[in-house]
Amino acid sequence: MNTYPSSDNADQYFNDRQYARKNVAIDAYVRPLGDSKSLVKVLDVSETGFRMETAVTFDLYNDIFLSIPGFQSLEANIIWHRENLYGCTFLVPLHPAILDHVSKIFAQQESLNNIA
């Protein structure tokens, strides 16, 4: 029996997570095993996984390789999907120093509209 969330309760699952998410804006590529790569936008990342947005359809529970510019490919598994958003878990968690480096390089710029 898997412990992954359904698409219906994905928000609750990720709001209760153990590791903090870092908001990022990364144009990256995802390649399922035995398939071609597709462009995605990584929206947030933690030591244990990431959330991405894409127009491409991927199968749930598929193993994928995430290619972030300047870093080696990271193997992950797709654990939830809702519309054009996907949640993925890394097969090997990121080292905290790698996470900090990625989040600094690709930090999401706060919109001027969000500054009060």
Query: Within 10 Å of residue 13's Cβ, how many Cβ atoms?
Result: 15
pLDDT in the model for residue 114 = 42
Q: Give the pair of three-digit tokens for residue 31.
A: 């390649």
- So what CATH class is 21-109? mainly beta
Task: Give the distance from CA 55 to its chain's centroid.
Answer: 15
Q: Give the pair of three-digit tokens for residue 48.
A: 């244990």
Instruction: Judge whether residue 67 has pLDDT over 60.
Output: yes
Residue 31: pLDDT band (50, 70, 90) is: very high
